[in-house]
Structure 1
Amino acid sequence: MSENQNLLAEQRRALILDEVRRHGGARVNELTRKLKVSDMTVRRDLDALARLGVVEKVHGGAVPIAEASTHEPGFEAKSGMELSAKEDIARAAAPFAVPGSAIALSGGTTTYALAQHLVDVPGLTVVTNSMRIADVFHSARRAADVASEGAGGRERSFGAATVVLTGGVRTPSDALVGPVADAAIRSLHFDVLFLGVHGVSAEAGLSTPNLAEAETNRHFLRSARRVVVVADHTKWGKVGLSSFAALSEVDVLVTDAGLPRAAREEMAEHLRELVLAGA
């Protein structure tokens, strides 16, 4: 069998994961036919997904791992998933950050991807509860300063943002939450909040497995004039332990083209605006 060279490993694994989740499992021989790759390739992909903790390998195939409502994957585990979708979402969400505005970025791997598209937006003030996101802007500023020094100080970085890191207690997903973060956020006001989420559903709204993070997110929402949620299609239908907002509280939800049509129609009934990145 000739290998299908048109799909990257990441894209193949996303398709395999979607197949496993939609049908409650998938067999190796079915996946080889569908993807037009060898069974060795499929087995390697299943090994990679099993290491990420999103499927369980069984004889002849794989089944999804049922997540408890309190299960919170770490940042590293999540950062290796749905990379193309997150990049599409980041590009589509970036224009909502207007030059000279005050924005907030919650912790998460999708907001982390978005931050890398915002470093050149002029005059931003950025409030975040993510050390990783703060580091993105810090590294960009340091690189700009080095470039300016190399040009004899004649260049100026117009994209360098003012960054406020809230402080707080670190979660497994590398967000800073709790009373310290809440107090900092309560005293501020944002033009736009870019919010990453663990789960999105019509019934439960936006949810997270972490109770302290839910409360911190509520403060983010109360302090924002506009709320832009960034979430790939795998977040649809997930429900964490604690809901912190209804879909009606979201101004814009930016997701990717992998969102099933039925889910799009259901979302449209509850949302003010739905953006399908990469469609």
Structure 2
Amino acid sequence: MQLNMAKRMQMTPVMTNASRIPATARRDRLIQMIGQRRYINVSDAAVELQVSEMTIRRDLDRLAESGLISRDHGGATARAPETAFDAEEPAFEVRGRRQADAKEKIARAAARFVQPGQTIGIDTGSTTHRFARELLDRPGLRLFCSNLRTAGLLAGGKSPVYALGGLIRPHEFSVCGPMASSQLSGLWLDAVFLGVSGITAQGIFDYTLEDAEIKRAFMERSRQVVVLCDSSKFDHRSLVQVGPYGQIHVLVTDAALPEHLAEPLDRAGVQVVVAGQEAPAFSEP
């Protein structure tokens, strides 16, 4: 009789405070664990939360059905963030009005990388156009532009301006094509400041093949590659991937990057500058 009672006691699960946690609170804790560790397995989660593996499996299945995590046989991972695809390039005037305050902050922060006497490349884009305004009163620079609108702006400044020659894209006034690329192949720049349509964990993007070709040519001929990107472009991709993060040196933005973007930038050794924080110093790549 005593032996049977002892066996029954061994088979009865011990109820703990953790096992009495409401299911919603337990699932919130699982989401937190996955966010911190990127992956959890069922057995470790069961031990940590002091519940059965079956309970953890049910919780993970429910969270996966809700789209909050990604499930596999042995555990779960953080769900990949949604990436927006921008199929069409908005007009320059429209882009210029979007995130205007953020772009102004980015432009001021980026301009602090420019040192006296340098040769600077300025890519096409609404943010780089705003950046160009910061250089109007800077003497002693040599400025190479791939956008006629930006070159015209800088022509009223204190430094000589060189506009690339080639095919002009209507309305955008960017210069592209083999002629423009060949001109860049004979130059060596201290730094280039690039605009992008968006960034993802894979790298930087642009709307058109033509402009992306010039961006790559600029990157190949520049000692320092500085990308200007406001936070509305995080997790946005478009037609062309210009390059991976290993090909750039600095990203200037207006807000802290989410972890899934910060990690690949950090691995690539990219310096991230958030406008309004500590002033950057121009450094050797």
Scaled by the length of structure 1, the TM-score of the pair is 0.65
Q: Report how far residue 68 of structure 1 moved.
A: 5.3
**In the alignment, what sits opposite 1:94?**
111
**In the alignment, what sits opposite 1:194?**
193
Query: SS where residue 143 of structure 2 aligns?
Result: strand
Q: Report how far residue 260 of structure 1 moved.
A: 4.3
**In the alignment, what sits opposite 2:282?**
none
**In the alignment, what sits opposite 2:162?**
164
CA RMSD of aligned residues (A): 2.0
**In the alignment, what sits opposite 1:119?**
136
Distance 2:90 2:272 in 1: 26
**In the alignment, what sits opposite 1:273?**
271
Query: SS where residue 100 of structure 1 aligns?
Result: coil
**In the alignment, what sits opposite 1:131?**
148
**In the alignment, what sits opposite 1:108?**
125
**In the alignment, what sits opposite 1:153?**
none
**In the alignment, what sits opposite 2:249?**
251
User: CA, structure 1 residues 278+261, in 2 after alignment: closer, same or farther (shift >3 Å)?
Assistant: farther
Q: Report how far residue 97 of structure 1 moved.
A: 0.9
Q: What do residues 72-100 of structure 1 show as CA deviations (whole Å, max 9, x unaligned)?
A: 11211101100110011011110111111
**In the alignment, what sits opposite 1:76?**
93
2:239 is aligned, of 241, 246, 268, to 241
User: Is the 8 Å Cα contact of residues 201 and 260 (structure 2) preserved in structure 1?
Assistant: no
Q: How many equivalent residue pairs? A: 194
User: Is the 8 Å Cα contact of residues 192 and 225 (structure 1) preserved in structure 2?
Assistant: yes
**In the alignment, what sits opposite 1:175?**
174
Q: What do residues 210-259 of structure 1 show as CA deviations (whole Å, max 9, x unaligned)?
A: 11111111111111011011111112211121112111111100000264
Q: Which amino acid aligns with 2:180?
A: A
The gaps in structure 2 that reach 5 residues or longer are 1-82, 278-285
User: Is the 8 Å Cα contact of residues 254 and 274 (structure 1) preserved in structure 2?
Assistant: yes
Q: Which amino acid aligns with 1:86?
A: K
**In the alignment, what sits opposite 2:72?**
none
Distance 1:89 1:114 in 2: 8
**In the alignment, what sits opposite 1:41?**
none
Q: Which amino acid aligns with 1:225?
A: R
User: Is the 8 Å Cα contact of residues 201 and 261 (structure 2) preserved in structure 1?
Assistant: no
Q: Report how far residue 265 of structure 1 moved.
A: 4.7
Distance 1:236 1:267 in 2: 13
Alignment of 1:33-72 (within 5 A): 69-72=86-89
User: CA, structure 1 residues 258+86, in 2 after alignment: closer, same or farther (shift >3 Å)?
Assistant: farther
Distance 2:92 2:272 in 1: 26
Q: Percent identity?
A: 35
Distance 1:210 1:77 in 2: 17
Q: Which amino acid aligns with 2:220?
A: R
Distance 1:247 1:263 in 2: 10
Distance 1:270 1:244 in 2: 16
Q: Which amino acid aligns with 2:130?
A: A
User: CA, structure 1 residues 247+168, in 2 after alignment: closer, same or farther (shift >3 Å)?
Assistant: same
Scaled by the length of structure 2, the TM-score of the pair is 0.63
User: CA, structure 1 residues 258+73, in 2 after alignment: closer, same or farther (shift >3 Å)?
Assistant: farther
Q: Which amino acid aligns with 1:94?
A: A
